[in-house]
Amino acid sequence: MEFMDNCYIGIDIGGMSIKGVVISPEGNILAENSVVTGVEGGKEQVCANIVWLVNELRKAVDDYKPIGIGIGCPGIIDSKNGVVVFAANLNFNNVPLAHMVGEQVGLPVRMTNDANAAALGEATFGAGKIYRNSVLVTLGTGVGGGIIIDDCLFEGFKSAGAEIGHMIIVKDGLPCTCGNRGCFEAYSSASAIIKKTAEEMKAHPESAMWKTYTPETVNGKTAFEYWDSDQTAADVLEWYLDHLAVGLVNLANIFRPQVIMIGGGISKEGDRLVNPLQKRVDAMLFAGSDYAPVKVVKATLGNQAGAFGAAALVM
Amino acid sequence: MEFMDNCYIGIDIGGMSIKGVVISPEGNILAENSVVTGVEGGKEQVCANIVWLVNELRKAVDDYKPIGIGIGCPGIIDSKNGVVVFAANLNFNNVPLAHMVGEQVGLPVRMTNDANAAALGEATFGAGKIYRNSVLVTLGTGVGGGIIIDDCLFEGFKSAGAEIGHMIIVKDGLPCTCGNRGCFEAYSSASAIIKKTAEEMKAHPESAMWKTYTPETVNGKTAFEYWDSDQTAADVLEWYLDHLAVGLVNLANIFRPQVIMIGGGISKEGDRLVNPLQKRVDAMLFAGSDYAPVKVVKATLGNQAGAFGAAALVM
């Protein structure tokens, strides 16, 4: 039997589809594929789809030796025991998914929350790879993220921590989907900027944004598009950046990472987003930004971060 | 030479005095002593005072073998290199204190920030000793604290993290000594409740608190004392507990410790403080409090927590 290089399989479960990658120890993609999630078929169907995906990936890299499978899964994950404690999107309650998959594929399986997986992916292969301490903040429908301390994923007791989107930054502020008020997520998600843009358009019939949008058609890019040419758009962005920066400064003062990586749809704005955030964070950082600066950067792996990070779980 | 039990020396540097303890591996106090800090004599004098204190402590336990010295010091501490980067109270800038002390006493010296030392003390010997994941929140002149993850002190990159008092909970809120607005500390310190009590007394000449206090003589206990008999006092406490609970919930959602320990002068109120906080935290905890509950308890070591935790640095 000849010598085979190792490879690592990463699985990222979403509500609609399951993505899978096989990566080399250097972080190169050796294969990728996807399958429908199949939530309507229940946990057995979701598990069968994962197993099918894993087998397809293994066939594609049969000159490599798979060491293990990492799974990033939405919801509350007991990563120590590989159990999906609760996942609303998947309709899962206490599903021992790591065990179910492991039994059928004959490889070790590790699991974490999808946001944590994305953070580990960016920290290992993406924007954080040169740092040992990083935080990923994902600006999407909600605000997710994860925390890497000394190159290790931090999950909190029973993996229930790192819920950074539900840090309250405005006591008694805007309502959040979690039931509390004033959460970081209620101000800094893509949904939050869309809602604010629509509201400000309604309040400002003179806004140039009306040229190409209505409050019903605005998206997360609208205000950025009109930033330089419209006062209402500029006001929306000032509001958005000011609140987002408060959340980032809190994370910086609490974790003092070397880098905060911004992911999710809004991060596509790149420097236009990141530069004004860096300026605000530097100005507000406790005891200044000279001794232990915190860089704000765009995440680089896009929607592959989760699958990469899942693979990193078994590296 | 007969067999000697090990012991550990903990030093807690304050602006006025330096406390020292010698503890056994089980956490029993074998000796304790203190000395003036001597800030006016500069770093050499402070160092000489620490060395004197260490030598006195060693004499008191000469049938034990000292393994090392831990130092808790106010300010920004580079714990990896044992350097006081900046400490306003001590007038220290880049003072290699661990090396200076170690050279003269011939024992290994480790150092951390005083708030971190207190957290490690409570986690190792006090209210957190049965838990592996805990957070200490100290309600004093400011709000300090520290974080223990899997029995290890978490300090952030270059030991600059864990500044929980400067987490913003009310964007654009009350001014904080750090220069920002709306920090946890500006609402939850002993100073904050004193200020609020005085303000509310002025606004409410009918308050029963006027019987024994003026806005100039109120202290951190005044509102607690009149809680059951005066509406103004009750309103002050509702305001105080509501804001304090927001900070605790944020720490719970971010770190998901098993226990949050409340220390500092205000914590002397005991159950009257802790019980309403537990209720609020349970009600606001992300995804509920069944899966991974977070207990709120009173810290138990009082002002010895720092010296105990300093000793724990070298255990």
Look at residue A3 in the predicted model and tell me its pLDDT.
80
- Residue B133: pLDDT above 80? yes
Pairing of strands B92-95, B83-87: antiparallel
Contacts of A254 in chain B (CB under 8 A): 156, 161-164, 167, 254
How large is the average pLDDT for residues B200-223?
Answer: 98
CA distance A279 to chain B (A): 15
Reported as half-sphere exposure (CB side, CA atoms, 13 A), residue B245 has a value of 22
Task: Among B170, B185, B253, B285, pick the best mutation site for testing chain A contact (most A Cβ within 10 A).
Answer: B253
What does the angle CA B152 – CA B154 – CA B160 come to, to the nearest 5 degrees?
A: 150
CA distance B152 to chain A (A): 12
Residue whose C-alpha is closest to residue A266's, from A235, A234, A247, A244: A244
Is A238 in a helix, a strand, or coil?
Answer: helix
Do residue A171 and residue B169 have CB atoms under 8 angstroms apart?
A: yes
Closest-approach residue (CA) in chain A for B88 = A287
B175: number of Cβ within 10 Å:
11
Contacts of A168 in chain B (CB under 8 A): 169, 246, 249-250
Look at residue A2 in the predicted model and tell me its pLDDT.
64
Look at residue B287 in the predicted model and tell me its pLDDT.
87
Q: Where are the beta strands (DSSP E) in A88-213?
A: 92-95, 109-113, 134-139, 143-149, 152-154
Contacts of A137 in chain B (CB under 8 A): none
How large is the average pLDDT for residues B99-125?
Answer: 97
Is A85 in a helix, a strand, or coil?
Answer: strand
Nearest-by-Cβ selection for A292 from B160, B170, B256? B160
Closest-approach residue (CA) in chain A for B294 = A157
Residue whose C-alpha is closest to residue A11's, from A49, A64, A44: A49
Do residue A253 and residue B167 have CB atoms under 8 angstroms apart?
A: yes
Do residue A160 and residue B287 have CB atoms under 8 angstroms apart?
A: yes
Reported as half-sphere exposure (CB side, CA atoms, 13 A), residue B284 has a value of 29
Do residue B256 and residue A284 have CB atoms under 8 angstroms apart?
A: no
For the stretch B248-302, pLDDT in tens is: 999 999 999 999 999 999 999 999 999 999 999 999 999 889 999 999 999 999 9
pLDDT band, very low/low/confident/very high, at B190 (cuts 50, 70, 90)? very high
Q: What is the ipTM of this complex?
A: 0.95
- Residue B9: pLDDT above 80? yes
Closest-approach residue (CA) in chain A for B181 = A284
Contacts of A290 in chain B (CB under 8 A): none
CA distance B22 to chain A (A): 31
Question: What residues of chain A have any CB closer than 8 angstroms to a CB in chain B?
Answer: 76, 85-86, 132-133, 149, 154, 156-158, 160-164, 166-171, 173, 178, 180, 242-243, 246, 249-250, 253-258, 284, 286-287, 291-292
Q: Is B219 exposed, middle or buried (0-12, 13-18, 19+ CB in 10 A)?
A: middle
Do residue B168 and residue A168 have CB atoms under 8 angstroms apart?
A: no
Do residue A170 and residue B170 have CB atoms under 8 angstroms apart?
A: yes
Do residue A246 and residue B156 have CB atoms under 8 angstroms apart?
A: no
In chain A (315 residues long), the average pLDDT of successive 10-residue segments reads 87 96 95 97 97 98 96 95 94 97 97 97 97 97 95 95 97 96 98 98 98 97 98 98 98 98 97 98 94 97 96 97
Pairing of strands A134-139, A259-263: parallel
Kind and range of the H or E run holding B9: strand B5-13
Closest-approach residue (CA) in chain A for B145 = A254
Give the sheet arrangement for strand A143-149, strand by strand.
Answer: A152-154, A143-149, A134-139, A259-263, A295-298
CA distance A285 to chain B (A): 9
Do residue B156 and residue A287 have CB atoms under 8 angstroms apart?
A: no
CA distance B85 to chain A (A): 8
Do residue B171 and residue A168 have CB atoms under 8 angstroms apart?
A: no
Contacts of A154 in chain B (CB under 8 A): 149
Of all residues in chain B, the percent with pLDDT exceeding 70 is 99
Closest-approach residue (CA) in chain A for B172 = A170
Number of CB pairs < 8 Å for A and B? 124
Nearest-by-Cβ selection for B156 from A76, A255, A284? A255
Do residue B256 and residue A158 have CB atoms under 8 angstroms apart?
A: yes
Do residue A254 and residue B171 have CB atoms under 8 angstroms apart?
A: no
Task: Among A169, A254, A259, A285, pick the best mutation site for testing chain B contact (most B Cβ within 10 A).
Answer: A254
Sign of the CA dihedral running A265, A270, A276, A278: positive
Q: Where are the beta strands (DSSP E) in B39-188?
A: 64-73, 76-78, 83-87, 92-95, 109-113, 134-139, 143-149, 152-154
CA A304 – CA A252 distance, rounded (Å): 25
Contacts of A160 in chain B (CB under 8 A): 256, 286-287, 291-292
Residue type, B250: N
Contacts of B132 in chain A (CB under 8 A): 157
Look at residue B1 in the predicted model and tell me its pLDDT.
54
Do residue A156 and residue B255 have CB atoms under 8 angstroms apart?
A: yes
Task: Among B76, B240, B256, pick the best mutation site for testing chain A contact (most A Cβ within 10 A).
Answer: B256
